[in-house]
Amino acid sequence: MALYSEKVMDHFRNPRNVGVIEDADGVGEVGNAKCGDIMKIYLKIEDGIVLDVKFETFGCASAVASSSMATELIKGKPVSEALKLTNQAVAEALDGLPAYKMHCSVLAEEAIKNALEDYYKKHPEAREDAE
Ligand code: FES
């Protein structure tokens, strides 16, 4: 059996939304101390919608595929939905990850949550709207 699903390989080879948003509304960065991989997420948010999202990932194939898939899952979605994105949902959308690679998808969930947290810090009024 192949180690990675075709979707993982596809998103690893042709990652979607790679890059930087210079005037991002929220930026989140997380790292995994054990493997040393780092993931950074940039969000452009308008009227409570994730208009654009980009990522930079310095990490393993699963981390790159997870960030790519995670950006696809939240692009164009309300912030409230992006906040609920779980690493399980990312892994499922990739048709699964090997068990010992699940932590790579956790990076994607955490990076997005950090970026949203950063967004709320910079735009406190948005948090009230969301509540
Ligand atoms: Fe570190 Fe995958 S091995 S994120």
Asked if 60 is an active-site residue, the reply is no
3-class DSSP state of 128: helix
Per-residue pLDDT of the chain (131 residues; tens, 9 = 90+): 578 999 999 999 999 999 999 999 999 999 999 999 999 999 999 999 999 999 999 999 999 999 999 999 999 999 999 999 999 999 999 999 999 999 999 999 999 999 999 999 999 888 766 55
Q: 35 catalytic, yes or no?
A: yes
Pocket mutation for ligand 1, best pick of 8, 29, 37, 39 (most atoms within 8 Å of C-beta): 37
- CA–centroid distance, residue 97 to ligand 1 (Å): 12
Identify the pLDDT of residue 127.
78
CATH topology of domain 6-122: Sufe protein. Chain: A (3.90.1010)
62 lines ligand 1 (CB under 6 A): yes
Q: In this structure, what token pair is assigned to residue 53? A: 């999202």
d(CA 98, CA 44): 32
Instruction: Please report the pLDDT score of residue 3 as a whole number.
Output: 86
Q: Which residue, judged by its Cα, is nearest atom 2 of ligand 1? A: 104
Identify whether the C-beta of residue 102 lies closer than 8 Å to the C-beta of residue 108.
no
* CB of 54 closer than 8 Å to CB of 18: yes
- 104's enclosing H/E stretch is helix 102-122
- Beta strand spans in the chain (E): 26-31, 38-46, 49-58
Query: How much is the pLDDT for 126?
Result: 84
- Predicted model pTM: 0.94
Q: What is the pLDDT of residue 1?
A: 53
Does 87 sit in the ligand 1 pocket, CB within 6 Å?
no
109 lines ligand 1 (CB under 6 A): no
* Domain boundary assignment for the chain: 6-122
